[in-house]
Amino acid sequence: MDHYREEEYMPYLLNHESDVIEKLNELIDQNIITRIWQKDYKVWSDKPDEISNRLGWLDSPYEMQKSIDEINTFAEELKNEGFKNALLMGMGGSSLAPEVFRLTFGVREGYLDLSVLDSTHPEAVKSISERLNPEDTLYIVSTKSGGTVETMSFMKYFYNYAQKVLKENTSKHFIAITDPGSGLEETAKKLNFRKVFINNPDIGGRFSALSLFGLVPAALVGVKIDNLLERAVKAAEQCKSESKDDIFSNPGSLLGTTMGVLAVKGIDKITFITSPQLKYFGAWLEQLIAESTGKSGKGIVPVDLEEVVEPVYYSKDRFFVYIKLKDDYSQNEKFTLLREGEHPAVQITIDDVYELGREFFVWEFATAVSGWVTGIQPFDQPNVESAKIIARQKTQEYIETGSLDITEPYIKINDVNVSGYSKGNNLSELISGFIGDHIQQGSYISLQAYLNPGKDIWDKLQSIRTKLQMKYKCPTTLGYGPRFLHSTGQLHKGDGGKGLFIQITENKNTNLGIPDAAGTDKSSISFDVLIDAQSIGDMEALKNNNRHVLKLHITKNTEDVLSSIL
């Protein structure tokens, strides 16, 4: 491993090579690969909790081949009945892989165009409901637990919305993907959903891309799931290699050991650069790595969709991963400059988009191995519930009192109420002061936007992000709330505490009630109350974990305010 190679996941490691080789030898000597395949929980912990029942993903490439005919037959049935659209309602592991399939593969002729809803912003919900005609839309309710508040709120809203048009045919337009015995399974049977797909309960959400949660939506847009699984099986077989002679042919072990060793040495910001067509894969990787490794005061911070700039603007805590299509060279020059700028790096070249079947499995295995290296249990999420608990408390308070307990702003700057920091006469001074007062070696800056998702808003947020990145030479992340709560939220509260968080919220122009139950008109709360409760819960959970948080609440003209920042 003394030279840089473009294939086979061989990393360029600089002076870290001997440490990685030493850890690979330890991995072999302790039979870690065999023990992972034997589902030995002691690889990660002395207790089996949330490990023994979370390793079903190892079998997914093999087991899911038994479901190919059922899934494809279902997709053909919908095509023949004239369905044109599908709306997947889910969060985190239930939504990210389907989104990757739709945005990366597109829609094959004759198949359903899939939209994914993972925002509780009322204007996002209203917009997608108005765009899709219930008469030719399949509604997919997807949640492992069967009780995810966002997903079940979407289900109740869209069931009522569709019922106004479809009347007695409403249930034929709804399906569920969930675990056996979940609340959703019970609800789906009660409402007579068209179909309920029951997934293997031993697969955690973020490891579920190659299960029914990912493959059913993939088939609906026309992905050839047999091809995808064939690549995944080949990857699984490679990830069984464990002798010293062929360890470098085991991509999951090589990547995972490299990730873990670098993280232990403080190079814990894994930064993704991709071919344009593959850029959506990063959001799935982000959840997998952040939620699996960000706990117990440790963590690998995934940096996705950050603008690729000159090497001088990067701190020394970066590990660059370049995932490219074989015939795409659009990022080659930038990646080469970064690698030559003395950053550890790896280039992964794939032949076509179906190789994502391989990548899903390789990165799952790598994440599991990195947990062994760093001493992190990768299958639980101990801090995720904290923000949810506070959000539930806030919504209950609203139901009882008719108002949310919102922290009074320290200061008001034009159309923005500011809390969490008060030094500055304008937003630029305020943000500069907040970061300047708290930044340290190893910090990262996280923009958390509880805004209506859209290209214009995203572009403005990305512009702010790039300015911060270049000014402070600091890794940056960006996510929409509450989506990121099911992705990077665990990392934010559970890692080493060096994140600096800028939460951005806004007044809503739409009041959209959430039915108390599907088929009934009574509504105790609305989507604007839910998303506000979630942002409050997240901020309080961050503060309870001693994180630095600056909140900017925009009272009007959101796009203009974002344009004025920095």
What pLDDT digit, counting tens, does each position of 42-57 carry? 999 999 999 999 999 9
Rounded CA-CA distance 196/185 in Å is: 7
Report which DSSP code applies to 185.
Answer: H
Task: Share the mean pLDDT of the chain.
Answer: 96
Pair of tokens at residue 536: 């409050």
Under the banding of pLDDT at 50, 70 and 90, the label for residue 216 is: very high
More confident residue, 394 or 174: 174
Domains and CATH numbers, the chain: 14-34+239-374 (3.40.50.10490), 81-223 (3.40.50.10490), 384-564 (3.40.50.10490)
Residue labelled with tokens 């939209």: 115
Instruction: Say what the pLDDT of residue 4 is.
Output: 38
Instruction: Say what the pLDDT of residue 10 is.
Output: 86
Task: Determine phi and psi for 62, rounding to 5 degrees.
Answer: -85, -50
pTM of the complete model beyond 0.85: yes
Under the banding of pLDDT at 50, 70 and 90, the label for residue 130 is: very high
Instruction: Say what the pLDDT of residue 315 is.
Output: 95
Task: Determine phi and psi for 270, rounding to 5 degrees.
Answer: -80, 115
Residue 204 CB burial class (10 angstroms; 0-12, 13-18, ≥19)? buried
Tell me: pLDDT of 555 over 90: yes
Instruction: Say what the pLDDT of residue 5 is.
Output: 41
Instruction: Say what the pLDDT of residue 2 is.
Output: 40
Under the banding of pLDDT at 50, 70 and 90, the label for residue 1 is: very low
Give the helix/strand (H/E) hosting 365.
helix 356-374
3-state DSSP of 385-435: HHHHHHHHHHHHHHHHHCCCCCCCCCEEECCEEEECCCCCCCHHHHHHHHH
Report which DSSP code applies to 12.
Answer: B
Tell me: pLDDT of 464 over 70: yes
Model pLDDT for residues 195-214, shown as the tens digit of each residue: 999 999 999 999 999 999 99
Model pLDDT for residues 408-419, shown as the tens digit of each residue: 788 999 999 999
Least confident range from 18-32, 117-131, 239-253, 444-458: namely 239-253
Model pLDDT for residues 350-388, shown as the tens digit of each residue: 999 999 999 999 999 999 999 999 999 999 999 998 888
* Measured CA distances, 252 to 36, 308, 311, 561 (Å): 12, 26, 28, 44
Instruction: Say what the pLDDT of residue 8 is.
Output: 66
Give the helix/strand (H/E) hosting 203.
none
Closest CA to 117 of 483, 489, 448, 523: 483
Tell me: pLDDT of 178 over 90: yes
Contact 69, 229 (CB under 8 A): no
Q: What is the DSSP string of 211-257?
A: SHHHHHHHHHTT--HHHHHHHHHHHHHHTT--STTTGGG-HHHHHHH
Instruction: Say what the pLDDT of residue 409 is.
Output: 81
Average pLDDT over residues 425-444: 96
Contact 294, 494 (CB under 8 A): yes
Model pLDDT for residues 530-554, shown as the tens digit of each residue: 999 999 999 999 999 999 999 999 9
Average pLDDT over residues 205-234: 98
Under the banding of pLDDT at 50, 70 and 90, the label for residue 3 is: very low
Rounded CA-CA distance 172/138 in Å is: 8
Rounded CA-CA distance 253/474 in Å is: 29
Task: Determine phi and psi for 413, rounding to 5 degrees.
Answer: -120, 105
Tell me: pLDDT of 487 over 80: yes
Q: State whether the Cα torsion 134-135-141-142 is positive or negative.
A: negative
Half-sphere exposure of 275 (CA within 13 A, CB side): 18
Average pLDDT over residues 341-357: 96
More confident residue, 358 or 246: 358
Beta strand pairing status for 523-526 and 113-117?
unpaired
Pair of tokens at residue 401: 């009192």
Single-letter amino acid code for the residue at 42: K
Average pLDDT over residues 448-459: 97
For residue 268, the Cα-to-chain-centroid distance in whole angstroms is: 18
